[in-house]
A and B are shown apart, each in its own frame.
Chain A
């Protein structure tokens, strides 16, 4: 079945430094990847999505490029802000027998220090 791997459970860095959160996936079918961000006590919210190979997608200062050759969809930002501290989930959308569902990674907690 489908799977999503996020290798870092916790990433801690200083404000102003670049961010990179890793995401790799396995799927036998179509490829539509998402990044969701969840701030403390809030709902997960969509940050980025892509299905186009080798095309950079950007939103709110974050960017990611889907690379089907390496099955990766890493999340990056050039300069971290304190408000970026949150839980980040990479997810893969797949069509099951009927209807769509998301397969999530275990999530990466990003902690940005001043």
Chain B
């Protein structure tokens, strides 16, 4: 079936540094999402993105976060600067339509901020 890829699978960085998480969504999908999962907790919605714009973001999507998909390439989540509480697994997802359509998830990027 359709696959979403995420690069890297693990990332360890020092607090205050910048990090970019990369997502390669399903090729014909137009809607993109990021979710955050802190260890032992549920996945929580961060942001959705369509046509080059953020449609909605949650209160977890801090000012230090940004997303983009330049020229139809990777859908990225950038955190600058990082904080200790950013340590989590970040899941990217994509969907073909903007309704109750299935969201296809990547395997996640485990981010550790030291």
Contacts and interface: CB of A to CB of B under 8 A. Distances in A.
Contact of B45 (A34, A49, A103, A106): A103
Interface residues of A, number: 27
Contact of A101 (B41, B45, B101, B104): B45
Contact of A105 (B42, B91, B101, B108): B42
A45 B26 CA distance: 14
B90 interface: no
Contacts of B4: 43
The majority secondary structure among interface residues of chain B is loop
Nearest to B100: A32
A97 B4 CA distance: 26
A82 interface: no
A102 B23 CA distance: 18
B102 A46 contact: yes
A103 B4 CA distance: 20
A94 to B, nearest CB: 9
Which of B95, B98, B100, B103 lies at the interface centre, i.e. has the most chain A CB atoms within 10 A of its CB? B100
Interface of A: 4, 30, 32, 34, 36, 41-46, 49, 51, 89, 93, 96-107
Interface of B: 1, 3-4, 31, 33, 35, 41-45, 48, 50, 55-56, 58, 91, 95, 98-108
